[in-house]
């Protein structure tokens, strides 16, 4: 059962009791991410997330980790384009440990200069690892190409020159200016009593930041091309388009189309391009929805000598798939989405995260029955409508590897019938 309370400071608390569990997943989700940064501090949201674990007024970084791990739990955090989250998993009887740690780092982090320099080095290593990973770098560059000169397109890690020089005050100011209880969700799922949990949060959250800055600007999808010649065995390629936001009437239709086109071993792309022709090892389609835009695309890796054959086949699939989708494929796509939804509800961490996202972006909890109904309402006509609309937007083509034989974006887009 899902229960929601709104505290006097605007902080919303949502819980889902899951009978039969002895554990709890809980966390704090903030409606603040990479797209809320100014260009001169690109990477600060992620840097702040790292620094939150590096010491408070009463605990060192080691003591923070030990507090959770001494009771067998785990603690982590992540930064995305629109969200920052801090979360733990614990045995239910140790819930207060998790509450104390998460609320402490959000209210009492000291941003030690010594720890900051250590973490600066860690993040620079993380950037280096990303740059050495063709697919990781490719996804970074693809979003930057889709949204040029916009916060939503910038790397979450930030460029090395900024990370090398970002200051303690800039990190602190980002937190105090952007974090606000009205933009936060505390979510918990598992063996949880709502009223007791709310009482714990009220007692612990007495000094949350009260930032009022709003840096989020409306996105403007452009598209374009990123090409990087690199001595690799494969060309890593993304061909993408503007997708839908969370709220679009055809959001679920595009989800079903995505499932049919490129999710799983029975998908159209996998069957035609890998199983039938052997042109790739990996190929899949993806959706990245945001609050005011989205991205829809295909990722694959292929050899230098296969790229000339791959592109016409890929474009043929994009041309043919909206009209060639069968009722059997639609039912399969729907079944995959519904099964994935219901299976995810068996894990407390998934339910905890999804409830937080729904409150942040929809201002309500969307029950599984409602989502299943929306999936069931998808038709061949709605799939065709959103697929053709999506595939008619400007392309974003990003590639890394031995790209000498790779066609230009103009040539690739000319192969499409939209």
Q: Annotated catalytic sites, by residue?
A: 49
Of 174, 243, 187, 250, nearest to 213 by C-alpha is: 174
Q: In this structure, are residues 217 and 390 in contact, taking their beta carbons and an 8 Å threshold?
A: no
Q: Please identify which residue in the block is written with the tokens 């103009």.
A: 410
Of 170, 176, 179, 155, nearest to 29 by C-alpha is: 179
Residue 3 to residues 130, 159, 352, 355, 372, Cα–Cα distance (Å): 40, 42, 12, 10, 21
Copy the structure tokens of residue 301. Answer: 């890796």
Q: In this structure, are residues 258 and 386 in contact, taking their beta carbons and an 8 Å threshold?
A: no
Of 132, 149, 130, 157, nearest to 41 by C-alpha is: 157
DSSP structural state of residue 292: S
As beta bridge partners, residue 76 has 87
CA torsion through residues 322, 370, 81, 137, sign: negative
């Amino acid at each position: 059962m899902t229960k929601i309370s709104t505290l006097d400071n605007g902080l919303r608390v949502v819980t889902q009791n899951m009978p039969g569990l002895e554990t709890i997943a809980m966390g704090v989700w903030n409606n603040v991410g990479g797209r809320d940064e100014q260009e001169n501090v690109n990477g600060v949201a992620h840097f702040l997330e790292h620094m939150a674990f590096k010491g408070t007024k009463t605990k060192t970084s080691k003591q923070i980790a030990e507090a959770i791990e001494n009771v067998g739990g785990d603690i982590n955090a992540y930064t995305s384009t629109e969200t920052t989250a801090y979360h733990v998993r614990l045995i239910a009887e140790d819930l207060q440990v998790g509450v104390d740690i998460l609320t402490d780092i959000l209210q009492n982090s000291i941003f030690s200069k010594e720890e900051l320099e250590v973490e600066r080095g860690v993040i620079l290593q993380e950037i280096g690892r990303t740059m050495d990973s063709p697919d990781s770098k490719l996804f970074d560059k693809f979003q930057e190409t889709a949204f040029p000169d916009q916060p939503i397109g910038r790397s979450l890690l930030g460029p090395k020159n900024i990370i090398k020089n970002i200051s303690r005050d800039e990190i602190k100011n980002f937190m105090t200016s952007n974090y606000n209880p009205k933009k936060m969700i505390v979510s918990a799922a598992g063996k949880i009593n709502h009223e007791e949990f709310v009482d714990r949060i009220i007692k612990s959250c007495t000094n949350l930041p009260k930032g009022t800055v709003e840096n989020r600007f409306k996105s403007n999808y452009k598209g374009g091309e990123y090409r990087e010649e690199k001595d690799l065995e494969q060309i890593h390629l993304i061909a993408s388009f503007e997708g839908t936001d969370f709220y679009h009437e055809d959001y679920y239709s595009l989800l079903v189309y995505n499932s049919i086109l490129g999710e799983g071993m029975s998908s159209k792309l996998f069957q035609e391009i890998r199983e039938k022709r052997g042109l790739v090892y990996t190929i899949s389609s993806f959706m990245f929805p945001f609050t005011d835009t989205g991205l829809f695309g295909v990722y694959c890796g292929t050899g230098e000598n296969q790229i000339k054959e791959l592109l016409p086949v890929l474009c043929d699939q994009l041309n043919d798939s909206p009209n060639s989708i069968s009722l059997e494929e639609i039912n399969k796509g729907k079944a995959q989405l519904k099964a994935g939804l219901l299976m995810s509800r068996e894990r407390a961490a998934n339910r905890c995260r999804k409830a937080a996202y729904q409150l942040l972006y929809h201002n309500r909890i969307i029950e599984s029955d409602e989502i299943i109904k929306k999936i069931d309402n998808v038709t061949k006509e709605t799939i065709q409508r959103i697929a053709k609309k999506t595939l008619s937007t400007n392309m974003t083509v990003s590639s890394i590897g031995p790209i000498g034989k790779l066609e230009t974006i103009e040539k690739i887009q000319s192969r499409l019938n939209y």
